[in-house]
């Protein structure tokens, strides 16, 4: 099999190029370190199947962070037909250094200068022919995002495959060689790149003047995030209502008549188990997709790097840094990629401490639970405040955790971070993002959510001769064991069963509740509101927020830390914290007479 | 005038003379454009002794003050 690898400095558009070339859906974002693992796709190029590999960005061949190790390991272990080196055309003064270093690997290369659109705007002129001559490598200038010049890059790759039909290994001596390329770098850049001397203040500089303002920067950041959340609910809620309406009609108009003659347990299994359970989770699909589309806009805007700049001083006080904060924000979508994103950190201690706090980020799965409870229990105005308080708690718990554990995970890692220009995703990028998130969600729904719901149905309905979810059922007995733990938190028996399943994934919680209470997505809210007062509901939400996010998170904690002990702490600590916080809240609120 | 990078005021520019850091960090800095002979502009400084925003060519980066203090520059008038 022929193989080519995409290599370059971080944030130069490798994944964008990869997506355009292969039609794959690699994650793209305006943050150095979005790709932290290999991603491969096979396509037909020059008449044969070729495996194209998207690699994490590297600054040089001597880096030791875990994402750079991925590249190193790839080069050491995999033979390739050649490398496609992707650099940012407007930053050749430093990025060409990487290409000069890569020459030591003695692999065939073709150079792709990306972001021609931005280089043009900056008035940068590159003499491509002279550059190719100087480097002795073919050069093409393209915009991977908008497509200009893309054909020429594809042809260059085909040409490379044509002239180098066999795969070869990199000369690994090149990985440890110390390079002295600065003189050559300056000479080549001086001969081939023409940059206007004075820069007109562009959009990025003007925006930064406001968004990074010494005193307005942070307040503006929080206002922006708050407004975005309002926007997500504003757009998402009507869509959710429409989804509910549709599901309800499927149930009453289609399923109920179709099953009218089926035996009762079968009816119950399909309607009260599968359909209510999965349907209730499904009704959150629209709002989650809207949420992820907005996340994609933020990730692509370049504002994340600014958030790191704004928060670094505060984060340093709890032993973390600006990047840790960005990973917390990414964790709002899903904790798993955020945990992987810490690979860019070179200090293991800093990395572990950051991985310890990320699971407190209120991810989209927990968001469903909270959206559900807040709308069921609180008036609309109060619901927004409650939601906000939960996000606040999420940060508080993270900072508290960092404070407690920073002594054990002490680090002094120099922080150097690019602040890329502001960018805006294309409409197509947003559609792809929305589509992928829906797929991800539906895949989850079709796998463990269905499984979880089925098990919960069985537990709450067996034995069949007693009322569902009564103390005599399996679920009832299970709940009995947990009473001593959850009663002091005001979490009733049936809710504790849902929490047990929430350990697998938070998406299951709402589905499980629908099954436990024998109510579909349209009337579950009413049932819950009748059973719980706000203190109990809030205590339940606090516990849900703080305890273990899901099994996938635990698996990734283990995979990334390579330590059972760390994984144990990272699971046990939040569990204990969740209990203590819920206990303090519930007993405190009751003592105050609420 | 000789000084260190963290002492520049916003919109002042200096030419880097020497960098006193470990080889590993030095390589990382070079990859971002921070190496002797290059011109670096101080863009702004975050409050509460937070990080600095600097510019080298068309690259903007944030750097903590402690690390910027290890970069010696010659102030460009
Ligand atoms: N203006 C412009 N932006 C681009 C172009 N190509 C990519 N981008 C943007 O640059 C940013 C980085 O793109 P990615 O494809 O994630 O870059 P990467 O090289 O894979 O980054 P890492 O995986 O972090 O190393 C994103 O915001 C892209 O939308 C381009 O040709 N022009
Ligand atoms: Mg990438």
Centre of ligand 2 to C-alpha B30, Å, is 22
Q: Ligand 1: which of A16, A35, A66, A124 to mutate, judged by most atoms within 8 Å of the beta carbon? A: A16
Q: Which of A423, A390, A211 is nearest to A308 (CA)?
A: A211
Q: Which of A158, A143, A61 is nearest to A100 (CA)?
A: A61
Write out pLDDT tens, residues A301-330. 999 999 999 999 999 999 999 999 999 999
Q: Which of A194, A221, A243 is the last residue of a domain?
A: A194
CATH at residue A89: 3.40.50.300
Residue A59 domain-assigned (yes or no) = yes
CB contact under 8 A, B51 and A91: no
Write out pLDDT tens, residues A125-183. 999 999 999 999 999 999 999 999 999 999 999 999 999 999 999 988 877 776 678 88
A82-88/A2-8 β-pairing: parallel
Tokens of A217: 């920067």
The Cα-based distances of A337 to A331, A343, A466, A560 in angstroms read: 7, 10, 44, 11
CB contact under 8 A, B51 and A63: no
Write out pLDDT tens, residues A101-130. 999 999 999 999 999 999 999 999 999 999
Residue B57 domain boundaries: 2-76
User: Which site among B25, B58, B68 would you substitute to test the A interface, given the most A Cβ atoms closer than 10 Å to its Cβ?
Assistant: B58
Looking at residue A360, what DSSP letter applies? G
Looking at residue B67, what is its pLDDT? Answer: 96
CA dihedral (A328, A329, A333, A336) positive or negative: negative
Gap between the Cα atoms of A285 and A435, Å rounded: 11
- Where residue A40 falls (left for φ over 0; alpha for ψ -120 to 50; beta otherwise) is beta
Looking at residue A168, what DSSP letter applies? B
Number of the ligand closest to the Cα of A58: 1
Q: Ligand 1: which of A13, A19, A425 to mutate, judged by most atoms within 8 Å of the beta carbon? A: A13
The answer to whether residue A60 neighbours chain B at the CB level (below 8 Å) is yes
Number of domains present in the structure of chain A: 2
Distance from CA of B37 to the nearest CA of A (A): 10
Q: Mean pLDDT in each 10-residue stretch from start to end of chain B (77 residues)?
A: 94 96 92 95 94 95 96 91
Report the run of H or E that residue A39 belongs to, with start and end: strand A39-45
The Cα-based distances of A328 to A211, A386, A399, A564, B66 in angstroms read: 20, 20, 11, 23, 25
Write out pLDDT tens, residues A538-584. 999 999 999 988 999 999 999 999 999 999 999 999 999 999 999 99
Q: Are A7 and A55 in contact (CB under 8 A)?
A: yes
Chain A, nearest residue to B52 by Cα: A309
Q: Which of A137, A162, A194 is the last residue of a domain?
A: A194
Gap between the Cα atoms of A496 and A513, Å rounded: 10
The answer to whether residue B69 neighbours chain A at the CB level (below 8 Å) is no
Chain A residues with CB-CB distance to B52 below 8 A: none
CATH at residue B18: 2.30.30.90
The length of chain B in residues reads: 77
A 150-189 residues with CB below 8 A of B?
Answer: 182, 186
Centre of ligand 2 to C-alpha A257, Å, is 51
Write out pLDDT tens, residues A503-548. 888 988 988 888 888 877 778 888 888 889 999 999 999 999 999 8
Looking at residue A274, what is its pLDDT? Answer: 86
Gap between the Cα atoms of A521 and A383, Å rounded: 19
Number of the ligand closest to the Cα of A296: 1
Residue A332 domain-assigned (yes or no) = no
Looking at residue A199, what is its pLDDT? Answer: 66
What sections of A103-139 are H helices per DSSP? Answer: 116-121, 128-135
Per DSSP, the three-state class of A283 is coil
The finding on whether A90 has its CB within 6 A of some atom of ligand 1 is no
Count CA within 13 A, CB hemisphere, residue A369. 30
Q: Which of A130, A159, A194 is the last residue of a domain?
A: A194
Q: Nearest CB to A91: which of B51, B57, B64?
A: B57
Looking at residue A197, what DSSP letter applies? S
Residue A535 domain-assigned (yes or no) = yes
Q: Which residues of A148-158 are buried (b: 16+ CB within 10 A; e: fewer)?
A: ebbeebbebbe
Looking at residue A592, what is its pLDDT? Answer: 94
Number of domains present in the structure of chain B: 1
Residue A266 domain-assigned (yes or no) = no
β-strand partners of B63:
A416, B52
Backbone angles phi and psi of A365, in degrees to 5: -70, -40
Write out pLDDT tens, residues A204-229. 999 999 999 999 999 999 999 889 98
Q: Which of A461, A559, A446 is nearest to A505 (CA)?
A: A446
Secondary structure string (H, E, C) spanning A560-588: HHCCHHHHHHHHHHHHHHHHHHHHHHHHH
The finding on whether A39 has its CB within 6 A of some atom of ligand 1 is no
Residue A341 domain-assigned (yes or no) = no
The finding on whether A2 has its CB within 6 A of some atom of ligand 1 is no
User: Which site among A11, A416, A422 would you substitute to test the B interface, given the most B Cβ atoms closer than 10 Å to its Cβ?
Assistant: A416
- Angle in degrees, 0-180, between the axes of helices A380-405 and A364-377, rounded to the nearest 10: 140
Write out pLDDT tens, residues A433-473. 888 878 887 887 677 788 888 888 899 888 888 888 888 89
Residue A486 domain-assigned (yes or no) = yes
Residue A148 domain boundaries: 2-194
């Amino acid at each position: 099999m022929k193989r080519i690898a995409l290599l370059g400095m971080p944030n130069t558009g490798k994944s964008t190029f990869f997506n355009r070339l292969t039609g794959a859906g690699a994650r793209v974002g305006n943050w150095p370190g979005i790709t932290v693992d290999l991603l491969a796709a096979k396509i037909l190029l020059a008449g044969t199947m070729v495996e194209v590999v998207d690699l994490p960005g590297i600054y040089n061949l001597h880096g030791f962070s875990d994402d750079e190790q991925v590249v190193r390991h790839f080069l050491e272990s995999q033979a390739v037909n050649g490398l496609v080196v992707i650099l940012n055309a407007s930053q050749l003064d430093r990025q060409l250094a990487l290409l000069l270093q890569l020459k030591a690997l003695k692999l065939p290369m073709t150079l792709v200068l990306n972001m021609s659109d931005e280089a043009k705007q900056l008035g940068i002129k590159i003499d491509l022919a002279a550059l190719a001559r100087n480097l002795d490598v073919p050069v093409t200038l393209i915009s991977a995002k908008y497509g200009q010049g893309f054909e020429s890059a594809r042809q260059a790759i085909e040409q490379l495959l044509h002239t180098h039909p066999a795969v070869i290994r990199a000369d690994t001596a090149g990985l440890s060689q110390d390079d002295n390329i600065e003189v050559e770098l300056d000479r080549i850049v001086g001969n081939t790149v023409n940059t206007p001397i004075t820069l007109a203040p562009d959009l990025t500089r003007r925006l930064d003047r406001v968004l990074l303002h010494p005193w307005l920067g942070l307040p503006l950041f929080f206002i922006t995030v708050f407004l975005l959340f309002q926007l997500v609910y504003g757009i998402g809620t009507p869509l959710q209502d429409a989804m509910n309406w549709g599901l309800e009609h499927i149930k009453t108009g289609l399923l109920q008549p179709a099953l009218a003659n089926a035996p009762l347990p079968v009816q119950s299994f399909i309607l009260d188990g599968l359909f209510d359970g999965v349907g209730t989770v499904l009704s959150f699909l629209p709002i989650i997709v809207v949420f992820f589309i907005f996340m994609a806009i933020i990730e692509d805007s370049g504002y994340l790097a600014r958030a790191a700049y704004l928060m670094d001083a505060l984060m340093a006080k709890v032993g973390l840094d600006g990047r840790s904060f960005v990973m917390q924000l990414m964790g709002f979508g899903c904790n798993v990629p955020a945990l992987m994103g810490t690979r860019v950190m070179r200090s293991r201690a800093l990395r572990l401490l950051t991985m310890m706090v990320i699971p407190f980020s209120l991810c989209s799965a927990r968001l469903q639970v909270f959206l559900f409870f807040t709308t069921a229990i609180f008036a609309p105005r109060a619901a927004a405040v409650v939601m906000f308080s939960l996000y606040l708690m999420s940060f508080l718990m993270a900072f508290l955790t960092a404070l407690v554990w920073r002594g054990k995970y002490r680090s002094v890692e120099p922080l150097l971070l690019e602040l890329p220009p502001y960018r805006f995703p294309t409409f197509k990028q947003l559609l792809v993002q929305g589509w992928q998130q829906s797929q991800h969600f539906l895949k989850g729904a079709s796998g463990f959510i269905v499984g979880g719901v089925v098990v919960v149905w069985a537990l709450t309905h067996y034995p069949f001769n007693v009322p569902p979810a009564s103390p005599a059922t399996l679920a009832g007995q299970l709940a009995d064991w947990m009473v001593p733990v959850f009663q002091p938190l005001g979490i009733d028996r049936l809710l504790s069963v849902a929490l047990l399943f929430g350990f697998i994934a938070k998406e299951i919680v709402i589905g499980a509740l629908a099954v436990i209470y024998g109510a579909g997505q349209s009337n579950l809210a009413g049932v819950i509101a009748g059973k719980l007062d706000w203190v109990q509901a809030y205590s339940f939400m606090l516990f849900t927020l703080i305890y273990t996010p899901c099994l996938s998170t635990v698996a990734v904690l283990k995979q990334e830390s390579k330590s059972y002990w760390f994984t144990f702490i990272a699971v046990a600590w939040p569990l204990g914290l969740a209990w203590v916080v819920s206990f303090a809240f519930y007993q405190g609120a009751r003592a105050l007479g609420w | 005038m000789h000084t260190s990078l963290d002492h520049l005021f916003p919109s002042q520019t200096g030419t880097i003379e020497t960098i006193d850091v470990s080889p590993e960090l030095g390589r990382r800095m070079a990859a971002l454009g921070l190496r002797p002979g290059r011109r670096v502009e101080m863009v702004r400084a975050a409050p509460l002794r937070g990080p600095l925003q600097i510019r080298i060519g068309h690259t903007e980066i944030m750097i903590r003050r402690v690390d910027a203090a290890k970069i010696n520059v010659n102030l460009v008038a």
